[in-house]
Amino acid sequence: MTAYDDNNIFAKILRGELPCEKVYEDDHVLAFMDIMPRADGHVLVIPKAKARNILDIAPDDLKNLIAGAQKVAKAVKAGMKAEGLTIQQFSEQAGGQIVFHIHFHILPRWDGVALRPHTGAMAPADDLKTFAAQIRAAF
């Protein structure tokens, strides 16, 4: 397995070298708005521990990540007044992973509203701030 890359974009966000629209943080995880969202309110949850994906994360770090993802998912659903959620985790390039720091996608869902395609288009910063505020208020 390939070694963890300390220069991946999420490692840079954790070190404060790149900005993010933060939704939640504790000793183990950071959650922030996806800048290329597939749904309004799309949030990423990452561990502070260094791990490429589900195949190499330490069990205790995975436990903390899952607990954080659950907490964030509840806030996303409530804050976005969503009817449901899609939660995704991709491992390795063939599995769809693009950023090689394990993360969960929390996507709020509504009946009859399809996910947007992943085009690489960035969302307006004001939209991300608005959705983040709604989600933060739900914790």
Residue positions annotated with a catalytic role: 103
**Token digits for 94?**
């063939």
DSSP 93: G
Distances (CA, A) of 70 to 22, 75, 79, 135: 16, 9, 14, 13
* Residue 50: φ, ψ to 5°: -80, 115
**Token digits for 24?**
């939640």
> 13 and 20 in contact (C-beta within 8 Å)?
yes
- Cβ-based neighbour number of residue 61 at 10 Å: 18
Sequence-separated (6 or more) residues with CB below 8 Å from residue 115: 38, 39, 86, 107, 109
